[in-house]
Amino acid sequence: MKKNALIIFLSLLMLTLFTWFVGYFPAIEMKPDVILILIVYIAISSDNVSDIFVAFMLGYFFDVFSGSSGGLFAMLRTVTFVVARYLNMNFFSKNLLFFVVTTFIISIFDSIYLGYQFSNGTDGFWYILKDSIYISIINALTALFMYRLFTRIERFSRIDRRKTERGY
């Protein structure tokens, strides 16, 4: 229970930081998608399938706060969790390189889909692909720097079995 509460708190904190980050840097055209990075980390590090609910709720909160069409980010973040979980189950690797590469790959497809959704098909494929690769590199570099923070928070949230056996 302690770990799930910490995951939800961390998720809401990341959502708040992301909205703050977007608001204070309007000159930067593309910003890292911290929510996507957090969901990829949760999918890779967690053994609970029920964390898909956290991914859905983060996407839903982002839908509500951004004013986008209902359910778009909720669906995307749920699919992101499932794909990252599938890659983790097949390659079973929990290290920095796997986290960064998985974030990069998922971010490319996520950005291409969002590029087509928000441009209504008016931009060409190569323009959307160029922007998708650019934002994916930004997300991968952000994931590289946030990995250590996530692992420390995860280590902090683990319950020590010796303490629970003694009753304190």
- What is the rounded distance in angstroms from the CA atom of residue 13 to the CA atom of residue 104? 23
Tell me which residue range forms the domain holding 108: 2-159
- What is the rounded distance in angstroms from the CA atom of residue 90 to the CA atom of residue 92? 6
Q: What is the model's pTM?
A: 0.75
Residue whose token pair is 């420390």: 152
- What is the rounded distance in angstroms from the CA atom of residue 72 to the CA atom of residue 93? 29
- What is the rounded distance in angstroms from the CA atom of residue 127 to the CA atom of residue 112? 10
144: domain CATH number is: 1.10.1760
Residue 164 is assigned to a structural domain of this protein: no
DSSP symbol at 33: -
Domains: count for the chain: 1
- What is the rounded distance in angstroms from the CA atom of residue 159 to the CA atom of residue 124? 51
Residue 165 is assigned to a structural domain of this protein: no
Q: Which residues contact 57 (CB under 8 A, 6 or more apart)?
A: 8, 11, 74
Q: Which two tokens stand for residue 87?
A: 């890659």
Residue 168 is assigned to a structural domain of this protein: no
- What is the rounded distance in angstroms from the CA atom of residue 140 to the CA atom of residue 100? 5
Residue whose token pair is 């920095």: 96
Residue 143 is assigned to a structural domain of this protein: yes
Q: Is 71 helix (H, G, I), strand (E, B) or coil?
A: coil
Residue 86 is assigned to a structural domain of this protein: yes
Phi, psi of 46 (to 5 degrees): -90, 150
Residue 166 is assigned to a structural domain of this protein: no
Residue 30 is assigned to a structural domain of this protein: yes
pLDDT confidence of residue 104: 92
Amino acid letter, residue 163: K
pLDDT tens digit at each of 168 positions of the chain: 555 566 666 666 766 666 666 556 555 566 778 888 888 888 888 777 788 888 888 888 888 877 776 778 888 888 889 888 888 888 767 788 888 888 899 899 888 888 777 776 677 777 888 888 888 888 888 888 888 878 877 777 665 444 544 555
Residue 45 is assigned to a structural domain of this protein: yes
Query: E strands within the chain?
Result: none
How many residues does this entry show for the chain? Answer: 168
**How crowded is residue 4: how many other Cβ atoms within 10 Å of its Cβ?**
15
